[in-house]
Structure 1
């Protein structure tokens, strides 16, 4: 049996929930299809010590502030999961958890959404699947020769995972690769634990933002860049002009204690560690690849829209090659700051308005 609706939203994380909020305000019929069995999106899989870049009240989806943390501390992933779960219930959003979307196809004046639980026919689709399910690891020479443990950000949880059973005094040697926020936070987490010997590796010297800069300021900077571009003024450079790493308290503590000094990228891996251009070698028991993600867009392959770097060309959130498709929350190419809690609301509002206008014709 095929079910019918105005809009299918693919993905029930923060972007999908923001889309649902604004689609309801537009009076549209819609369904949110989410592969995860429970609410919370990718936040359910984050490492234990992760903290947001901003206080709770500046990390909210449209319509409802995230409850504050005691003493204004920055929320952890568990707090975000609880907030998203409550948001979904509060607005009675029609999220179908445990439904994996396999393909989106054209069919006359509509789009067909094929899932593992049945088929939907929609007049428009919002893809909000994010990037967490597509971790990226670079093709470093010798990667296949390394005999230690290799894991990506998606699999890291805490320093205790690297403990040596039966020997609390022994120290594992771990190389953390990546000069962004994930790399800095995970390297700091391991360095501050004291039970791990950490080598932090980055392709270029890490750029820490000023200590008083957090997600609030970053959102303002991204917004100012968007306005400048829309008005035909020069590109301000946005967040990238300030730096790469937000100095959240654990990162600041590790940096100030001298435990967060980065080495340049190694040239190759060996069976036992990493070798540098100067011939030096560092032994390692494990490597954590904090090397980013790619957009999870395999379900859109039948539409044949992907271009360079795997992106789909968009005007705002609307796909240029398929006006019935919007992409939400994948990064600045689908709306400034749209991959953040505070930033996705504006892009979701614009997408819902665009869809409502399209369906009214």
Structure 2
């Protein structure tokens, strides 16, 4: 008979998302367990990225002493109270090896003695009344609340005739000498495709990159999931006519030729319906990642997926929209800010983990952190808000997603809530009908075809700022009543008198605050 263990909270997955949440649950004294299929934490990073270079930056020298502010340029560390346990202490590399991430996650789990059970590959998850039963060959876990932090897996191959001839990003060889002198077609134009092209540039004869949509460059979109400059050398070779090509097209079929090569036929996206074909020796599918819902197959009502199918559909509390008590952590939370902010990456979802732990604490009737009480004066609000936008890593790393919120208190004071989302605040925290001030940091709109290195600036008009800058919005019942953008600053420090005077004037005109 399989032994059954019972916990209040069960986290599936000991990657950075699962470990970060486990740290906060343990800090709160919660009864929890983490189940990990492999024999060590961070199994994803032991395999991906395939060419072993992370694109999350690791800036060890900032010239700044404040540890929270330094996390603005440390995209790999998990949050904790131990200043020695920072990723930046393991390597000085700006783009470090994924092997360092594996070592770091092992250190993190061991340092805090997190309750992780290794070798527990979850096979099925079932409902058990209001709770869950998690089944594995290693045993069975019953939990009142379940948090899935399994990250994402490579997307399956599309249904295209002949696609079985493609090698996948997960299984293709990474030794560039195996492609020497060959013509290679790479399906995809994201970072996995670009890193693969980068690896093959010295050995492959020709590289074609193909997908229906144009390349999206992170330095244009300000979205770190788009193609990073460290991976985009192949774009230079295309524009300078060095044999490699970038194709905006839909692959229609692949045929194997008698000589052993492949003929790939495609339809151009914006070329008056033109069709072409290329003959290649290898086809590599580097088409991105998605969530894996297969463990829920036995549930009568499995969690719904988002419209794009890449994520679970979540409420503002990171809970499944249709399965009560089922939460998601880590990269799977990115459905709430997909392509808008950074919850799909460690430097984003580490802050979401702290918020999720507070949500679970609140729902269990615990003592969640109370908001700070401030004098109900605009000077006090401005001082607190500007201190946060100048130093906090959370607002900087989750632009437009996490907010500091200032709301009228019950005793004529002002309550300062840190690191909430506006949706969660309106759904679960604040009484409807009352106004409140939300302070975020956000990028402006560069424009679809603008050159981000050649933008005319308007130094006194923050609404026209293209780079990251603070935004203040007075909101009521989901509506924006008033809005002020503090103009972007060269060094992301908003301390100049003219910046503060503009914000003070805006705040002073918010009569709705006290109604």
Same fold per TM (> 0.5)? Answer: yes
Answer yes or no: is the 8 Å Cα contact 2:304–2:320 preserved in 1: no
Residues 1:76 and 1:156: Cα distance change in structure 2 (over 3 Å) = farther
Answer yes or no: is the 8 Å Cα contact 1:49–1:158 preserved in 2: no
SS of residue paired to 1:138: coil
Alpha-carbon deviation of 1:72? 4.6
1:94 aligns with 2:111: no
**Number of the residue aligned with 1:178:** 188
**Number of the residue aligned with 1:314:** 314
Distance 1:161 1:125 in 2: 46
CA deviation map 1:48-106 (0-9, x unaligned): 34332322523221124212576552112111111111111111111111111122222
Give matches, 1:169-318, under 5 Å: 171-191=181-201, 193-210=202-219, 239=223, 244-248=226-230, 251-257=231-237, 258=240, 261-265=245-249, 266-271=251-256, 272-277=262-267, 278=274, 280-301=276-297, 302=299, 303-307=301-305, 308-310=307-309, 311-316=311-316, 317-318=318-319
Distance 2:173 2:254 in 1: 24
**Number of the residue aligned with 2:76:** 59
Residues 1:49 and 1:172: Cα distance change in structure 2 (over 3 Å) = farther
Give matches, 1:74-85, under 5 Å: 74-85=95-106
Alpha-carbon deviation of 1:14? 1.2
Q: Which has the higher contact order (CA 8 A, sep 6+)?
A: 1
Alpha-carbon deviation of 1:9? 0.3
**Number of the residue aligned with 1:13:** 15
Out of 138, 146, 159, which is 1:139 matched to? 159
Distance 1:246 1:42 in 2: 20
Out of 111, 131, 134, which is 1:113 matched to? 134
**Number of the residue aligned with 2:94:** 73
SS of residue paired to 2:210: strand
Distance 1:140 1:20 in 2: 42
Alpha-carbon deviation of 1:135? 2.6
CA-atom RMSD in angstroms:
2.6
**Number of the residue aligned with 2:353:** 348
Task: Detail structure 1 runs of 4+ shifted over 6 Å in the superposition.
Answer: none
Residues 1:70 and 1:121: Cα distance change in structure 2 (over 3 Å) = closer
SS of residue paired to 1:102: strand
SS of residue paired to 2:362: helix
Answer yes or no: is the 8 Å Cα contact 1:268–1:275 preserved in 2: yes
Alpha-carbon deviation of 1:309? 4.6
SS of residue paired to 2:54: coil
Residues 1:355 and 1:72: Cα distance change in structure 2 (over 3 Å) = same
Count matched residues: 320
Q: Which has the larger radius of gyration?
A: 2
Distance 1:199 1:152 in 2: 16
Alpha-carbon deviation of 1:305? 2.4
Distance 1:51 1:108 in 2: 42
Answer yes or no: is the 8 Å Cα contact 2:12–2:18 preserved in 1: yes
Q: Which runs of 5+ in 1 are unaligned?
A: 164-169, 219-238
CA deviation map 1:155-186 (0-9, x unaligned): 245243624xxxxxx51221111121111121
Residues 1:279 and 1:255: Cα distance change in structure 2 (over 3 Å) = closer
Alpha-carbon deviation of 1:343? 1.1
Alpha-carbon deviation of 1:30? 0.9
Distance 1:2 1:291 in 2: 39
Alpha-carbon deviation of 1:261? 3.7
Distance 2:189 2:232 in 1: 15
1:358 aligns with 2:368: no
